[in-house]
Structure 1
């Protein structure tokens, strides 16, 4: 454990005068004090730079670099190029960190570890959720790490990324990081974290994933990913083409190209919803077959329920929809009813269109208490249909 090493913390800044003081102070207040704090201003037009200069007078570890506006990729590169620490961490200027973050990350950084990755709290005015890798936390030695490359970018079992793609909440070796980040295309403005994290991970021999949660990520509703921009599709394309070049040299059995396409789908989902108001979801199959005359009820009109509906709509004449949170809404010209109104005489079978088995068991118990015959209740683990999606307008 390298607890005496200099750590360079890079804080890219662009017009975040509302939050920048809280951010920098949270870095300055780290219990681990052997830090180089590099603030890189990307041509801010608000009072961000004045606040940074005031804080610099209070803490001599702060170094300020002023640039014209060139974007996040160039700004991070500039920070890494000026870093002198053996290790590098990133903190975004509208976020803040727990005082134990750097010390906790550094505690895991032995001489043969290339990256330590932790979880983070993503918070907004109303919510706070934990975000992190879907791969189990723990130490991944060389062969074990290579064995997980087939779910590094996209973990099909979890239907999300494998390694958490954020640059924040991680500790990198500066020399290795510079070799990766200096090649990143400055024009990438969506997926710019992933364009560094995944190539870096592919070149790593040992990774540690922790369940520590000491980074606080502010969900900014005015950020690019929350704003209506038709050119977001060009940004998605730019990221994809860059990543395809970066992964083409690696073995086919790692299925990196397939993972990348699955990963890109999540970008497209959010962008198409934001720009066009169209919701695209993954599709699920239902293995059980029914007769044309069967009257079917679906309990749940989420992603699973909508997939089942699209399949059953071509097989049976009558489908009834129940969903507590959507009661009264219309889906495909059908009124969604409240589960409180369930009457088993209205259907021959009721399918619980839910992914989670424990939740399905609870619903089954409720249905039985409502007098629904056990023989009428159906649930099975929904199966993903490869390369097929549902569309809601």
Structure 2
């Protein structure tokens, strides 16, 4: 039986950690190791981790000073001994047959497939199902270009996040998560897919993604969200480097749309220094000539984007006028 390494970064999740770890220990597929990476937790999480290490020899605990989710995952990758890797966030949990089904499906195409992803459901703080993912996966096998295309265009969280997937460990031989960044998955998933010949998609909702009030995805706008903008810009450059021209143009369009939204929210948010937001604007201005050549952006949008780059207030006036025209 192939060994699967389940990497669980842990930080101040004493309320949810038992459910998470037990859902992994109770897997119908038993040949696993669980790496609990305690990232400098200040609550009872370290003691809970140590308890499970004493109870089950498949559990290994690594305590470290707080360095963030990316560092915890990277340490897990480096310390893992399995042929396959799975990431589970410590406030989430998984179905008991998840690993068995996923490894068996992977074996059917073991020579050509390096990643298998499953669907997920959202649950609240008490584990009650809120709703299924809005973008339900179909059972299929896709190539790496299609995976990157869906990552860019569909906004389906299945393709964006690192969790909910079974990876061959070799996929991460030269890839690590970026340190001190939010939206860390957006920096790496296009690179991960590019390392694969094909990706298996399953329609089963094995992963339980917990929605918490203080989670990053639910947090209010802040300057830290510039990290996502950096990730989208990195995506554009990655596609350009590998001559994926159609994907580069699509990635650029997504980058532009997010940039404009980021800039407007930043200018409207009093808690952020407007001078910081203005300095970030240089990222868009540098790309004006690339934007004008992007076949995925129509002429009207190009004019509006150009106005945005040279005069923010003029851009708002034109945008409001066009929006009013569409309503009438």
Query: CA, structure 1 residues 163+28, in 2 after alignment: closer, same or farther (shift >3 Å)?
Result: closer
Q: 1:57 and 1:236 mapped to 2: Cα distance?
A: 39
> TM-score of the superposition, structure 2-length normalised?
0.74
Instruction: Work out which structure has the larger RCO, using CA pairs closer than 8 Å and 6 or more positions apart in sequence.
Output: 2
**CA displacement, residues 160-180 of structure 1 (integer Å, 9 cap, x when unaligned):** 348621111100011222322
**CA displacement, residues 121-169 of structure 1 (integer Å, 9 cap, x when unaligned):** 11226862222767743022xxxx15625723223xxx53486211111
- Indicate whether 1:80 and 2:90 are aligned: no
Q: Secondary structure at the match of 1:214?
A: strand
User: Which structure has the highest helix share of the two?
Assistant: 2
Q: 2:200 and 2:208 mapped to 1: Cα distance?
A: 20
Match of 1:222 in 2: 214
- Indicate whether 1:189 and 2:182 are aligned: yes
Query: CA, structure 1 residues 271+124, in 2 after alignment: closer, same or farther (shift >3 Å)?
Result: farther
Moved over 6 A (4+): 270-275, 306-309
Query: CA, structure 1 residues 100+84, in 2 after alignment: closer, same or farther (shift >3 Å)?
Result: same
Shift of 1:231: 1.6
* 8 Å Cα contact 2:145/2:194 also seen in 1: no
Out of 292, 295, 310, the residue aligned to residue 324 of structure 2 is 310
Query: CA, structure 1 residues 162+44, in 2 after alignment: closer, same or farther (shift >3 Å)?
Result: closer
Q: 2:174 and 2:253 mapped to 1: Cα distance?
A: 25
Shift of 1:265: 4.3
Q: 1:134 and 1:263 mapped to 2: Cα distance?
A: 25
Give structure 1 stretches of 5+ with no counterpart.
278-305, 317-393
Query: Considering only CA atoms, is the larger Rg found in Structure 1 or Structure 2?
Result: 1
Q: Secondary structure at the match of 2:141?
A: strand
**CA displacement, residues 163-214 of structure 1 (integer Å, 9 cap, x when unaligned):** 6211111000112223222xx4213222x12322221111210210110101
User: Which structure has the highest strand share of the two?
Assistant: 1
Give structure 2 stretches of 5+ with no counterpart.
270-319
Q: 1:165 and 1:238 mapped to 2: Cα distance?
A: 15
Shift of 1:272: 6.6
Q: List aligned pairs for 1:79-98, cutoff 5 A.
A: 79-98=76-95
Match of 2:146 in 1: 148
Q: 1:256 and 1:146 mapped to 2: Cα distance?
A: 14
Query: CA, structure 1 residues 13+307, in 2 after alignment: closer, same or farther (shift >3 Å)?
Result: farther
- Indicate whether 1:69 and 2:66 are aligned: yes
Query: CA, structure 1 residues 243+53, in 2 after alignment: closer, same or farther (shift >3 Å)?
Result: same
Q: 2:244 and 2:121 mapped to 1: Cα distance?
A: 35
Cα RMSD, aligned residues only: 3.1
> TM-score of the superposition, structure 1-length normalised?
0.62
Match of 2:160 in 1: 165
